[in-house]
């Protein structure tokens, strides 16, 4: 009886050891699904460098993971790495992200990269889909930023009328007339031209709503 008990005990130890060994191995092997939530937590805490590294790790594990490219793109964008952001936003879309978030990111990135026509196209597309858009992982990035991007991009492409239309959405109380120099004022400051006045307003709105 004693010998049989010892054999059973030893056998049980080996079985348990095998089970725990497999469990440990499975938990220790990284997966994109495990890494990405941690990366977003870092992103939401404004730890963009750490978030970038985590999303990059997820891409190494799964090179076709659209969420990893999407997160790395936003991390790059908020660290002012515009070219990398554009590349990764497009990769996220290529690998299947059909949501509005990468479109928002591209609008912001194209504006920063002075690709104004592309910024206008993306911002218009997003706002036509959701006029009250906000980015879930960073709600301060929202539809106001998109209207500001349009105001800036239209201004830089010489379409002052459309730029003013976007300004009015963000600042309804303002009244500036292109052919009335007496209205070329903002925040108790007078300006020499309609364009100069609009630029002053845009600069102010950028402080209020810009990233």
Query: Which tens digit of pLDDT belongs to each residue from 174-198?
Result: 999 999 999 999 999 999 999 999 9
64-101 per-position pLDDT tens digit? 999 999 999 999 999 999 999 999 999 999 999 999 99
User: What is the overall mean pLDDT for the chain?
Assistant: 89
111-165 per-position pLDDT tens digit? 999 999 999 999 999 999 999 999 999 999 999 999 999 999 999 999 999 999 9
pLDDT value of residue 211: 66
Contacts of 120 (CB under 8 A, 6+ apart): 150, 153, 154, 157
Rg (CA), the chain: 26
Mean pLDDT of 19-35: 60
Residue (of 109, 106, 210, 114) closest to 155 by Cα position = 114
pLDDT value of residue 208: 85
Contacts of 25 (CB under 8 A, 6+ apart): none
Cα–Cα dist 119/127, whole Å: 12
pLDDT value of residue 29: 65
With a cut of 90, say whether residue 13 has pLDDT above it.
no
DSSP 8-state assignment for residue 78:
H
Residues, the chain = 211
Query: How many CA atoms lie within 13 Å of 59's alpha carbon, on the beta-carbon side?
Result: 18
Domain boundaries, the chain: 128-211
The CA–CA distances, whole Å, from 14 to 7, 17, 20 equal 11, 5, 10
pLDDT value of residue 209: 80
């Amino acid at each position: 009886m004693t010998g049989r008990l010892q054999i059973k005990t030893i056998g049980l130890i080996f079985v348990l050891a095998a089970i725990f060994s497999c469990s440990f191995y499975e938990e220790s092997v990284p997966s994109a699904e495990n890494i990405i939530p941690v990366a977003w937590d870092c992103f939401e805490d404004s730890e963009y460098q750490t978030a970038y590294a985590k999303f990059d790790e997820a891409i190494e594990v799964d090179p076709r993971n659209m969420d990893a490219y999407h997160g790395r793109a936003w991390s790059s964008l908020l660290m002012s790495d515009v070219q990398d952001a554009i590349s990764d936003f497009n990769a996220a879309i290529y690998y299947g992200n059909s949501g509005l978030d990468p479109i928002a990111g591209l609008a912001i990135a194209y504006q920063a990269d002075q690709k104004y026509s592309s910024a206008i196209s993306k911002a218009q597309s997003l706002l036509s889909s959701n006029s009250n858009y906000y980015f879930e992982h960073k709600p301060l990035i929202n539809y106001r930023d998109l209207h500001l991007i349009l105001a800036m991009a239209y201004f830089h492409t010489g379409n002052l009328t459309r730029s003013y239309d976007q300004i009015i959405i963000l600042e309804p109380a303002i009244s500036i007339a292109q052919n009335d120099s007496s209205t070329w004022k903002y925040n108790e400051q007078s300006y020499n031209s309609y364009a100069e006045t609009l630029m002053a307003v845009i600069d102010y709105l950028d402080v209020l709503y810009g990233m």
